[in-house]
Amino acid sequence: MFKKRLKKPIFPLLLAALFLTLGACSNANEETAEKKEVTKSNENTHSAHSNMNHSGSSNVPEGLKVSENPKFEVGGQAIIESHHMEGMKGAIATIVGAYDTTVYTISYTPTDGGEKVENHKWVIHEEIQDAGDEPFKPGSEVKIIAEHMEGMDGVTAEIDSAKATTVYMVDFTTTDGEEVTNHKWVTESELSPTK
Distances (CA, A) of 60 to 88, 107, 163, 169, 186: 22, 22, 19, 9, 14
Q: For the chain, give every domain's residue range.
A: 65-193
Residue 92: phi and psi, rounded to 5, are: -90, 125
Name the architecture of domain 65-193: Roll (2.30)
Chain segment 64-89, per-residue pLDDT in tens: 999 999 999 999 999 999 988 889 99
pTM for this structure? 0.72
CB atoms near residue 121 (< 10 Å): 19
CB atoms near residue 75 (< 10 Å): 8
Chain segment 120-140, per-residue pLDDT in tens: 999 999 999 999 999 999 999
For the chain, what's the residue count? 195
Q: Give the side-chain half-sphere CA count within 13 A for 29.
A: 6
- pLDDT of 145 > 90? The answer is yes
H or E segment and range at residue 17: helix 2-49
